[in-house]
Amino acid sequence: MSGWLEVTLIGMVFENREEEGVVSDDENDDRFNFYTTTVDMDKDMYQDILSIATDTSGEIADYPGAALIFVAQPISPSMTAASMKTGGNALGLPQNTNMMCPSPLPLLPYPNTNTSTDVNFAVAWENSTHDKPVIETCKRGIQRIARAAGAKGLARDFLFMNDAGDDQDVLGSYGSANRASLRKVGREVDPHSVFQILAKGGFKL
């Protein structure tokens, strides 16, 4: 990293740019959005998620050209173990001891371990007049899953950045200590906040 930091700064250009959301302003562009939550998965939780995903998909189908995709991605114990060996757990990932791979296909075996799993709804639609109702429907579905997990004691704070909605507090889900640490690193490697100011969209420190 020192090699990068030793580059002589000869000039900086800053400009004000609007945040780029996930919804285009062009009525003819493809329109899509994401929402995510993390749960400790077991058979009953999996059944709840499939039920909620089915309900949400049915609501989304009322809008022409709209479709919902449900994805479940387990957080493996090797992932969290490796992070601890190399300096810590900057994302605040749950420390798992078991591994399973849930699938939306009902013919596959149900998971029988409580491995933390990122649950994502991705939604696509066609018409700009449906932006608000489609996004809100997707968001409500994920909120239902989070509440169901909370009622079972299976909810987790972690939000997977790649699958998060633009109004979800991803960096806050890492924990206050981790967020402060990331900000400290940011000040060291990007003292002029280039990636905080010039990068459009995304989640900023």
186-203 pLDDT per residue, tens: 999 999 888 888 877 888
Question: What phi and psi, each to the nearest 5 degrees, are found at residue 156?
Answer: -125, 150
Percent of the chain with pLDDT over 70: 76
pTM, full prediction: 0.76
123 has pLDDT over 70: yes
Q: How far apart are CA 5 and CA 26, in angstroms?
A: 40
- Is 203 inside any structural domain? no
- Is 172 inside any structural domain? yes
23 has pLDDT over 90: no
Give residue-wise pLDDT tens across range 164-188.
999 999 999 999 999 999 999 999 9
pLDDT band at 93 (very low <50, low <70, confident <90, very high): confident
Contact 165, 34 (CB under 8 A): yes
Q: Mean pLDDT across the stretch 82-100? A: 70
Domain hosting 171: range is: 2-197
Q: How far apart are CA 167 and CA 190, in angstroms?
A: 25
- Is 175 inside any structural domain? yes
138 has pLDDT over 90: yes
Q: How far apart are CA 64 and CA 178, in angstroms?
A: 42
Helix ranges, the chain (H): 2-5, 43-60, 77-85, 131-151, 176-189, 194-197
- Is 163 inside any structural domain? yes
pLDDT band at 2 (very low <50, low <70, confident <90, very high): low
pLDDT band at 116 (very low <50, low <70, confident <90, very high): confident
- Is 139 inside any structural domain? yes
Q: How far apart are CA 32 and CA 128, in angstroms?
A: 11
Q: Name the one residue in this structure whose structure tokens are 């999996």.
A: 46
- Residues 6 or more apart whose Cβ sits within 8 Å of residue 176: none
Helix, strand, coil abundance in the chain, percent, nearest 5: 40, 15, 45
**Strand, coil or helix: 68:** strand
Other C-beta atoms within 10 Å of 40: how many? 20
- Is 132 inside any structural domain? yes
Q: Mean pLDDT across the stretch 155-164? A: 92
Is the pLDDT higher at 89 or at 107? 89
Q: Name the one residue in this structure whose structure tokens are 């930091």.
A: 5
Q: Mean pLDDT across the stretch 13-30? A: 46
- Is 171 inside any structural domain? yes
Q: What is the mean pLDDT of the chain?
A: 79
pLDDT of residue 94: 67
Is the pLDDT higher at 107 or at 11? 11
**Total domains, the chain:** 1
